Amino acid sequence: MKPAPTSGFLGDYSNFKPVEQGKPLSLEKNPNKTLKSYSKIMIDPLQVNFHAEAKGKNIPLKTLDNLLDYFHGALLKEVKDSPWILAEQPGDDVVTLRIAVTDIAPNMQILNLAVTSTASGLGTGWAAMEAEFVDSSTGERVLALTDRRKGNRAVYFRGWSRWGHTKNVFNQWAALLIKEAPDL
């Protein structure tokens, strides 16, 4: 899958580098700071900031709100199972996570009725996002990333609901942002 078009949520993208050639995950790291130096995390309200060619612009607001609530819940679940402590206020040792969903697409349920369609990736929902971790005291960016993912084809039953594969992407991102990001 090609990298997601940028939405402007993160401002300047000139220092972003792909994590792996041909993969959509790109990072910008602060050479002077690391996420491992923070023990607390504060999660800002999730946003929708569709890029210019986004396919998800016609999704009803209530559906988007429900999907963002799901994503936020997945993040909180990951924090609960991580070394980080959830903070409610900025302060020393607190990093703030800011996230914008920049595109989103539902499953094509009819294609997900056949295992062969799901196994090939046809009809799986997908989403794109931009996120950054900033020092809550200084506002300095510690780590930023952009990513675009399809639902997990191996999770066949997710395709039975309109947003099942997309929610699977949110679960993957929650794990990436909370558990894997400190090691990126």
Under CATH, to which class is 25-183 assigned? Answer: alpha beta
pTM of this structure: 0.86
Q: Give the pLDDT of the chain (184 residues) as one tens digit per residue.
A: 667 789 999 999 999 999 988 788 999 999 999 999 999 999 999 999 998 888 888 899 999 999 999 999 999 999 999 999 999 999 999 999 999 999 988 875 444 444 444 444 445 677 899 999 999 999 999 999 999 988 655 444 444 467 888 898 999 999 999 999 999 8
Domain ranges of the chain: 25-183
Q: Which residues, 6+ apart, have CB-to-CB distance to 67 below 8 Å?
A: 101, 104, 163, 166, 167, 170
CA–CA gap between residue 142 and residue 32 (Å, rounded)? 8
What is the signed CA dihedral for 12, 17, 19, 24, rounded to 10 degrees? 60
Cα R_g (the chain), whole angstroms: 16
Element (H, E) at 149: strand 141-150
